[in-house]
Amino acid sequence: MSLHEGFGSGNKDSTPDLKPNDLVMTPVNIAQEMIGFYEIEPHHHVLDPCKGDGAFYDNYPECTKSWCEITEGVDFLKWNKTVDWIITNPPYSVFEDFLRHALKIADNVCFLVPLAKVVSSLRRIDMILDNGGIVSIRTIGASRCGFPFGFPAAAIHMKRNYKGRTKIEKWR
C-alpha cells in the first residue's frame, strides 16, 4: 500500500499538520527526467529530504543516498549531515523552512516546485543569492507533473557559492 494512500493522499492521523498539497507525489517519469538534468557522480551523497513514495529516491543514479520522510518518523529539519545534492519535490506548507535548511546542508539544491514559491518573497530570493546562486530553471506545466493546481512549475537548481549566469529554459 502507498505510504500516503487515503488522504488525497497522506497519513494525516500521524502527521496532522501536513496539508494536502504537501502530499502530492511526483510521477516517476518526471522525477527520472529531472534527476537526469544534473551531474551526479558515484562518489556524491544525494539526499531526498522528503521521499514520499520514493519517485526521486528510488531513481538516483549510483551514489551514496539517504532519505528523510516525516510520515516515517524522520524529520528533515533535524537532519544535520552535509550532502552534495538534494533533489526532490518538497512540501509546500513548510517550503521556506525546507529551503533554508536545504541550503545549509547541501552544496546543490534542486527543487521541483511552483515557480512562485521561490520568487514571491524577497527573503527567499535573498536566502538563495546570499548562499550562492541559481544555475538553472527549467519550466514545466504543473499538469504535466500531475500537480493539482495551475501555476507554472520548475526544476530549480541552486548551488552554493555559484556566481555564474542562470539558464532559464523550457523543460524538454
Ligand X SMILES: C[S@@+](CC[C@H](N)C(=O)[O-])C[C@H]1O[C@@H](n2cnc3c(N)ncnc32)[C@H](O)[C@@H]1O
Cell of 28: 516517476
How far apart CA 81 and CA 74 sit, in angstroms, is: 13
The single residue listed with the C-alpha cell 495551475 is 150
> According to DSSP H, which parts of the chain are helical?
28-36, 95-105, 115-119, 122-131
Pick the closer one to ligand X by CB: 44 or 101.
Answer: 101
Residue 102 CB, shortest distance to ligand X, in Å, is: 11
Which of 25, 103, 156, 158 is the binder for ligand X (CB under 6 A)? Answer: 25
User: Is 137 among the residues that bind ligand X (CB under 6 A)?
Assistant: no
- The residues near 93 (Cβ < 8 Å, ≥ 6 apart) are 17, 18, 19, 21, 22
Choices 19-27, 58-66, 118-126, 153-161; region in contact with ligand X by CB under 6 A: 19-27
Grid coordinates representing 100 are 533554508
Which of 112, 128 has the CB closer to ligand X?
Answer: 112
Q: Which amino acid is at 154?
A: A
Asked whether position 154 contacts ligand X by CB under 6 A, the answer is no
Taking CB under 6 A as the criterion, the residue among 52, 118, 137, 138 binding ligand X is 52
Residue 39 beta carbon to ligand X: minimum distance, rounded to whole angstroms? 21
Q: What is the DSSP string of 117-167?
A: HHHS-HHHHHHHHHHEEEEEEEEE-GGGGT-SS-S-EEEEEEEET--SPPE
**Binding to ligand X (CB under 6 A): which residues in 77-136?**
77, 88-89, 91, 94
75, 96, 126, 169: which one binds ligand X (CB under 6 A) = 75
Q: Choose the stretch contacting ligand X; rule: CB under 6 A; options: 53-61, 129-137, 138-146, 149-157.
A: 53-61
Q: Which residues bind ligand X (CB under 6 A)?
A: 18, 22-26, 48-53, 55-56, 68-71, 75-77, 88-89, 91, 94
